[in-house]
Amino acid sequence: MFSAFFTILRRDLLLAMRRRSDVFTTLFFFVIVVSLFPLGIGPELETLRLIAPGVFWVAALLASMLALEKLFLVDYQDGALEQMLLAPQPLSLLVLGKVAAHWLITGLPLVLLSPLLGLQYDLPGETIGVLLLTLLLGTPALSLIGAIGAALTLGLRGGGVLVSLLVLPLYIPVLIFGAGAVEAEASGLGGIGHLTLLGAIGLAALVAAPLATSAALRVSAE
Amino acid sequence: MSSRILNWFKFSSPASFYPLAGTIGRVSTLIAVALLAVGLYMSFFVAPTDYKQGEGYRIIFIHVPAAWMSMFIYVVMAFWAAMGLVFRTRLSFMMARALAPTGALMTFIALWTGAFWGKPMWGTWWVWDARLTSELILFFLYVGYIALQGAIPDVRRGDRAGAILLLVGVVNIPIIYFSVKWWNTLHQGASVSIREGSSMSAIMLETMLIMTFAFWAYAIAVAMARVRLIILERERETRWVAELPEVKL
């Protein structure tokens, strides 16, 4: 059964590698948004250090959301999605494969680049470590939750804007605990509580989101 | 037992629910008007002045019922969404759709009156208190649902997509609520407590309950009126709609 999961995963990664611009678009969007804040707020390192967790997390949220539109759209347009709906394997497993590939393409590069951007915000080494960890734990949850929104708005006109309206409120817990962990660590309180909750949200999303996404796909693609 | 089930499903057909909705709507309108008159009279003239907050506290009689209704209506919508997905009854989706604008309105009223209450009492229009924030997020959820319904031209797809969104939202509401609560209490205690200094006097509580029932009746009345319109719109090709006296003329 899991071979279906890995097949989808490999297929989507291969497709993404054939068209690399999508990967870079999301990544550079993240970099640009993060770089815009110092320009808007001012270059005082004291302030930047204070707002860094929030800025990084909001930028990650927006970047993750921006990439959602493409998640099912290409498959929907060329008919591959219909085949997935008809496949004997459980749809939620295939969805999980697609989401995993999506995260590897759009989420992971941004997580890996964040320490470098953290240096721009003059964050100390430990805080950068926690930031990396929260993004690593949190961005998969963003992809999972976002997939529901992507499935619901599949093929609609203006779907991209609509997705933000549906998905951003649901992202709030991830934002709170992600940015909260970094903040708590930086202020010496220890971010472990936040991190565990972030992990819990990720696991809950892992269980529930593929089911909701496949239900939404069946509605949207019929 | 079986006859009762039969009865329920009788009214899940739009054609047989349409006249019932009219009756319920009329009765609820009467109840709403009566309770609102009594409630408003009590809240302005009967309920005593608060020893701490003066006359300004009277906005509570709008604020609290609206906030309760805003949360309750979302749960009711999620209930109808679940019914619709399980039993595939078209009417359930229509009910969810009919309730959404009222729910959003209640959330908006709660936020708006809260701001008007907060300014004289706390000295600020808005604080990032857990309750205020989660009410704001609830408003976003309503807006998202309405926007999704508006964006999908196909009725059947719109109904079911909206229902899934409602169920996802209702699962998320506790998570959002607690995350916001911890978010605020983890790094600092709330600078302004939303609770009042004294426990409420009986007459105030009674007034508030009357106002709540008035809001409740209003919500039912408006939802029924809206669901009737939705039924007419969707069933406009059918014979029973063409034979309705209000359609005929």
Model pLDDT, residue B6: 57
Rounded mean pLDDT of chain A?
Answer: 89
Residue A219 has its nearest CB partner, among B141, B161, B168, at B161
Bridge partners for B54 per DSSP = B50
Determine the Cα–Cα distance for residues B36 and B30; give it in Å rounded to an integer.
Answer: 10
Determine the Cα–Cα distance for residues B184 and B129; give it in Å rounded to an integer.
Answer: 7
- Sketch the domain layout of chain B as residue ranges: 21-193+202-248
Contact A158 B140 (CB under 8 A): no
The reply to whether ipTM tops 0.95 is no
Per the CB < 8 A criterion, the answer to whether A26 and A110 are in contact is yes
Q: Which residue has the tokens 């990967």?
A: A23
Contact B183 A176 (CB under 8 A): yes
Contact B187 A159 (CB under 8 A): no
Contact residues for B103 (Cβ-Cβ < 8 A; gap 6+)? B69, B70, B73, B74, B77, B142
Determine the Cα–Cα distance for residues B216 and B29; give it in Å rounded to an integer.
Answer: 10
Model pLDDT, residue B249: 65
Q: Considering its fold, how many domains does chain A have in total?
A: 1
Instruction: Supply the DSSP symbol for B200.
Output: P
Determine the Cα–Cα distance for residues B96 and B104; give it in Å rounded to an integer.
Answer: 12
Mean pLDDT for the stretch of residues A194-213? 92
Residue B152 has its nearest CB partner, among A156, A197, A208, at A156
Determine the Cα–Cα distance for residues B179 and B198; give it in Å rounded to an integer.
Answer: 28
**What are the pLDDT digits (tens) for A132-149?**
999 999 999 999 999 999
Structural domain harbouring A211? 2-221
**What are the pLDDT digits (tens) for A86-131?**
988 899 999 999 999 999 998 999 999 999 999 888 888 888 988 9
- Chain B partners of A194 at a C-beta cutoff of 8 Å? 186
Q: Which of B86, B132, B179 to mutate to test the interface with A (most CBs of A within 10 A)?
A: B179
Q: In chain A, what percentage of residues exceed pLDDT 70?
A: 100
The 3-class SS string of A23-54 reads HHHHHHHHHHHHHHHHHHHCCCHHHHHHHHHH
Model pLDDT, residue B117: 85
Contact B179 A152 (CB under 8 A): no
- Chain B, nearest residue to A168 by Cα: B140
- Chain B partners of A176 at a C-beta cutoff of 8 Å? 179-180, 182-183
Determine the Cα–Cα distance for residues B161 and A220; give it in Å rounded to an integer.
Answer: 7
Per the CB < 8 A criterion, the answer to whether A100 and A9 are in contact is yes
How far CA B56 is from CA of B63, B116, B124, B191, in Å, comes to 12, 9, 14, 20
- Chain B, nearest residue to A216 by Cα: B161
Splitting chain B (249 residues) into consecutive groups of 10 residues, what average pLDDT does each group show?
A: 59 84 93 93 82 77 90 93 90 93 95 86 80 87 92 89 92 80 56 50 84 94 94 87 78
Per the CB < 8 A criterion, the answer to whether B20 and B78 are in contact is no
| pTM reported for the whole predicted model | 0.87
Instruction: Supply the DSSP symbol for B47.
Output: S
Q: Which of B85, B128, B148, B149 to mutate to test the interface with A (most CBs of A within 10 A)?
A: B148
Model pLDDT, residue A148: 94
**What are the pLDDT digits (tens) for A48-67?**
888 888 899 999 999 988 88
Contact A173 B147 (CB under 8 A): no
Determine the Cα–Cα distance for residues B60 and B204; give it in Å rounded to an integer.
Answer: 9
